[in-house]
Amino acid sequence: MNKKEIDKLIDKYLEGATTPKEELQLAREVNRPDRPAEWEAIRAMLGTLALDEAAYDEEMASRRSRSMWIHRISWAIAASIAVVAGVGLWFNSQQESSTDIAIAYVDGQTITDEDRVLAMAEDAVCDIFSNSDAESSLYEIFNPEE
């Protein structure tokens, strides 16, 4: 409030027409450290009760403001934790849903059909044990260049 508005509020107070809310506002204004000397009489008339009530209201407003920030920070931390947990669960589910794939390399060709790869592996194992000379067959499989 500017000085002119406060002077109008002082006149209204002196006429007995102020509301309790306006009296608290006036008490805050005349209690400022940079108040003019002419407001000292009004400050004394308002008395310590109104000044203390105004100071109390200011302190409570300050505490509510701090409390609001603490509340917001708490929610932000909780939201951050939820996001991190959600991302972790999503990555975990992506890893669990991935399936193993069967790949075979035969004569320079890549075969990714799982049924065909498994059939080829089964045939190779059967061939090993159907031969009377299993050791030489194993040697041929694992050392094809020789």
DSSP code per residue over 7-66: HHHHHHHHTT---HHHHHHHHHHHTSTT--GGGHHHHHHHHHHHHHHHHHHHHHHHHHHH
Question: Within this chain, do residues 114 and 87 fall inside the same structural domain, yes or no?
Answer: no
Structure tokens at 99: 């399936």
Domain that holds residue 22: 3-95
Residues 91 and 68 in one domain: yes
Entry pTM: 0.35
For the chain, what is the total number of helices (H) and then of strands (E)?
5, 2
Query: Does one domain contain both 43 and 11?
Result: yes
Q: Mind listing the pLDDT tens digit for each residue in 110-143?
A: 888 888 888 888 888 777 667 656 666 666 777 7
Give yes or no: residues 81 and 123 share one domain.
no
Are residues 63 and 122 located together in one domain of the fold?
Answer: no
